[in-house]
Amino acid sequence: MYMMTTMKSLNFPSPSLTDIWLHIILTLVVTTLWVYIYRHRSFAFLASVMFFPSIFAIGIQIYHSSFIRYISFLLFYPQWSTFYWSILSSLLAIITVIICCLMNYMIGWGQFREQETFPAIHEHNRNLIFGWLRALGEEIGWRSYLLPGLLIYFHPIIALNISGLVWGLYHVPVMILLSYHPQSKVQYPIRTIIVQCLSCWISAFVYGWIGIQCQFSMIPPTMMHFVWNRINPLLLGSIYTNTPGWMNGEQWKINGEGLIGCIVELFIAIIIIIQLY
Structural domains in the chain (count): 1
Q: Above 60 in pLDDT, residue 2?
A: no
Specify the pTM. 0.92
234 neighbors 121 (Cβ within 8 angstroms): yes
Q: What average pLDDT does the structure give for the chain?
A: 91
Q: Above 50 in pLDDT, residue 5?
A: no
- CA–centroid distance for 249 within its chain: 23
- Print the domain residue range for 95: 1-276
CA 133/CA 39 separation, integer angstroms: 23
Task: Identify the pLDDT of residue 259.
Answer: 97
Task: Identify the pLDDT of residue 51.
Answer: 96
pLDDT in tens, 21-30: 999 999 999 9
Task: Identify the pLDDT of residue 3.
Answer: 58
pLDDT in tens, 139-178: 999 999 999 999 999 999 999 999 999 999 999 999 999 8
142 neighbors 162 (Cβ within 8 angstroms): no
Name the residue among 149, 133, 117, 121 with its Cα closest to residue 48.
133
CA 104/CA 61 separation, integer angstroms: 44
